[in-house]
Each structure stands twice: as C-alpha cells, then as structure tokens.
Structure 1
C-alpha cells in the first residue's frame, strides 16, 4: 500500500467515526478532487504569485521562472511517485500537442503572451505546454484516485477518431467552417450512455461522461480567467479586466475529449465496453467487473 493510499484510508476512517456518512463522503470527494488537480493548482498559484511579486528589473523573466517552476514540479511528482512514468509519458504527449496548438493559435492572432522571455519560441513561452500537461495530469490522477470505471464505452476507433477530429478542428476552423456543433453532437452520440463510476468509501457513484466533461470545462474556464486577469496571456480584442468569452467553455469541453483520449493510450483498464456492475455497499468484490475496494 502506498503512503498516499494509507493516509486516504486513515482519513476516511477518522471522518466516518465523527461525521454522517453523506458528509464524510462529500468531504472525501472534494479532498480527492483537490489532490488530483495538485499540479494544475500549484501552477495557477505560481501564475498568481509571480504576478504579485515580480519586478521588471529582476535577472530572470517571469515566464522563464514559471517554466523552471513547472519543470521542478514535474520532477517532484515523479520523485515522490505522485505520477507514474506511464502517466508522465502520456502527459508529455498532451504537452507537445498543446504546445503545437499554442504556436498555431498565437501565429493566427487568437491570443498572445505579452511579456518577454528567454524560453520563448515563436511567440509562445515554453511554460504554456505545462498548462495542457496539468489537464492530463489531473485526468490520469483522478482516474486512479477514484478507481474510476467507464462503461459502457464506445468502440476505441470512434473514441480516438473523435479526438483527432476535435484536434484538427482547432486548426481547420481558421480556414473552413467551424464543425464544433457537429462535434458537440458527436460527443453526446458516442458517450451519452457512458457512465463514469467512481468509488468513495464503501459506495460507488456514477455520472454521465458528457456531464463530467462539461463540469470540468467550467473549472478550466475559471482557471483561464485567472490567466487573463493576471495578464499572463491575452485574447485578441479582450480587455484585461474582461471575463473570457463563455464560448471558451465549448472549446475546453471539446479539448477534454482530446485529453481523455490521450490518457487512454496508456490507461486502458478502467475502459469497459459492457455495462459496469459495481459491488454493493460494504462489500469488496474482486472480479473483472469491480475492482478491490481499497479506497476510504
């Protein structure tokens, strides 16, 4: 048992002894979500903190400091086994695909990074790829922390085909018509029946996958507003104090499917093409249809 799992179980027992079951499970849900987005939360804290304290005459540019901090954070995650090497490889892929999109979008004038930096290529500071890596990190960690199962899952060829179509549309809509509404419909057609089963305490809960993607996109939209309000990046025609367009919710919603497909290149065990049958409350059933219930 890992140290993290041991602490989770102790915390779960402590709360169940002192709080109603529904309250303790809600608190555990929030804590696990916070633990899952540790990389992204630390990166956002660094963006806010550097904005508050950075001085123009300091020997290192703010963007470069963020790049070094992000590298150090990734190294710490691997050193303390907060991420596996397999997860890190997938996150690297999403990092690279995100950076490629950043280069294109900045060159197309969609947004810009106004500050100078040494580690800046084609107008894009290299720390920006870690913002996409943070999404991949969250997704890989939340699947593991909640023992998530996805069922019934569509055929993998359609799963990856949709992700490729979404990614291509982020580029293609600058030259041809925007297919995002067809892609929204495709996510519902493919995943409306898919439930995300997750484990808290002795109970299993579920949520439709498209609903989970939409709720996650809201938090990403909030994080994006932190980026623009701190002036870390600016959208074309946007007032620095103006909220990011709600249309970006749709962009993040679709991008989450790209991130999910990237994660499932390695994390395949939770994907189940037949309906998932979780163990009943208070029981531990070790089988292909339900994992061992070792979470708090």
Structure 2
C-alpha cells in the first residue's frame, strides 16, 4: 500500500514538473484542429508558448531557472538551424517567425526539457553524489554537443561517447525525496529513462505536425527507436549544464556569505 501511495505521489510530482511540456503538447494538438484566420500555425504556437513562459515565471519558475531556460533556447536554436539546413528534419508549414526554415517556437521544445529538469530538481529536492570533476563533465558535454554537428562530416561517435559517459558517471547517483522518504537511481539510468519518455513525446509531436523527419513527409511513421540515443545524449547535456550552473551559483552564494560576514581580527 505504501508503494502505491508513493507511486501516486511520484506521478503527481512528475506531472507538476511537466507543466511546460504539457502546455506545448496541448498547443500542438489545439493548433492542429483550430486555425486563426491570417495567422500561420507556427506563429500562433510561438505566441502561446511566449504567454506560457510568462505565466511559468510569474507562478512556477524562478529567475535563475529562466536564465537556464533561455540558455537552452539558444542551444536548441543553433542545433535546429544546422539540422534543418542538413535535411535531418523540416518544418513544412508557413510562418512569419521562421528563420532559415526554422520557426522560433522550436526553441521552446528544448527549453521545456530544461524546465522539467529545473522543476524536478526543486520539487524532488534532488541531490547528486559522486559528481565527476568539472573538467570531465565540461569536456564530455562539449563533445556530445559537437557530435550532433560533426557526425554529418566525420562520422557518428555517439556510442563511444556513451561508453565514456558510463565510465565518467559510474559512481554518480541521484537522490530524490517523496514525502520524507529518500530514493536513489544511478544517474546514467535516469538519463536513459528521461530520454525514452522524450522519444515517446517526440512521436506525439511529429504526429501532431510539430516537425517532420524525411520518412514522415507523406505518411506519419513512428520515430526510429535509435532516436532514443540522441535524446539520451541531449538529456546528458541538459543535466550537466543545470548541475554545473547550480554548482557555480552555490559557490557564488557562499562567497557572498563570507564577504557579508568577515571574520574579526583578534
């Protein structure tokens, strides 16, 4: 019975953490059924996403979390511009807010991943043990992000990067609280689970016409299961960035405390 209650609590907390992604999915579904005369669908999605972001900051997100989310907008937009240019996927619809074939609302899909991580970190009181040295996390993060670009030219090294991740994060665990009880998972497993659920969400998104892969242009097909590895790696980047920024923020806060309460000379 305790397990069932805790499972319900976990599902409830996850639902709260997923408010922004759910708003985006709802918007994709709504705009597929409802049209606003004179306003292209991509632009309507952008307007709703902007209003949702304002609401999130007003009621659910902190300013520090907003900074992280804005960073993911930039990271996601850069990736989108490159991938669309290379023909990895496309946005066939019309829109005034499209830049080089990429609608600006696409950045919110990456930002929603960051929003989920930030919300989960706060609501579940996440604690990470065995975190590797910053030099290794920064290097692996840069290598993963770079591989999304360079694999078009020099080969895809995602499996080598995955093996390196297993080595770097072998001892790393993530702890979370549910109603005064603490649970833990290997961090690598949490990466994989989040990546899997994003892949499920990606299938819903492509079905709703958010974007299309080349094999979906005429008839919708399930997204190749291999995409889970891409989302797995993207989640790794997301968690590393959030964790490093929190580490930096903690160091800055500690410095301010020391400066505001200097020791008196004897």
The reply to whether TM is greater than 0.5 is yes
Say if 2:69 and 2:111, in contact at 8 Å, map to a contact too: yes
Of residues 87, 112, 120, the one that matches 2:90 is 112
Of residues 102, 105, 121, the one that matches 1:124 is 102
How far did 1:90 drift? Answer: 1.0
2:235 aligned partner: 256
How far did 1:232 drift? Answer: 2.0
Aligned length: 249
Higher relative contact order structure (alpha carbons within 8 Å, sequence separation ≥ 6):
1
Say if 2:89 and 2:213, in contact at 8 Å, map to a contact too: yes
Structure 1 position 159 matched with structure 2 position 137? yes
Residue 229 to residue 240, structure 1, CA distance change in 2 (3 Å): farther
Structure 1 position 205 matched with structure 2 position 183? yes
1:288 aligned partner: none
Deviation track 1:130-170 (CA, whole Å, cap 9, x = no partner) reads 00000000001101110111111111111111111000000
2:53 aligned partner: 74
How far did 1:205 drift? Answer: 0.4
Structure 1 position 150 matched with structure 2 position 131? no
Deviation track 1:98-147 (CA, whole Å, cap 9, x = no partner) reads 00000000000000001000011000000000000000000011011101
Deviation track 1:31-81 (CA, whole Å, cap 9, x = no partner) reads 0011011101111111111112236xx21111001101111111111111x
Structure 1 position 27 matched with structure 2 position 8? yes
Of residues 75, 97, 115, the one that matches 2:75 is 97
Structure 1 stretches lacking a partner, 5+ long: 1-19, 272-296
Of residues 235, 247, 259, the one that matches 1:268 is 247
Residue 85 to residue 270, structure 1, CA distance change in 2 (3 Å): closer
Calculate the TM-score normalised by the size of structure 1: 0.81
2:21 aligned partner: 40
Structure 2 stretches lacking a partner, 5+ long: 251-266
In the TM superposition, structure 1's runs of 4+ consecutive aligned residues that sit over 4 Å from their partners are none
Calculate the TM-score normalised by the size of structure 2: 0.90
- Tell me, what secondary structure is at the counterpart of 2:246? coil
- Tell me, what secondary structure is at the counterpart of 2:121? helix
Match runs of 1:230-245 below 5 Å: 230-238=208-216, 240-245=219-224
Deviation track 1:219-243 (CA, whole Å, cap 9, x = no partner) reads 1001111121122211123353210
Alpha-carbon separation, structure 1, partners of 2:68 and 2:34: 33
Say if 2:130 and 2:173, in contact at 8 Å, map to a contact too: yes
Alpha-carbon separation, structure 1, partners of 2:67 and 2:106: 17
CA RMSD in angstroms comes to 1.6
Most deviating of 238-247 and 62-71: 238-247
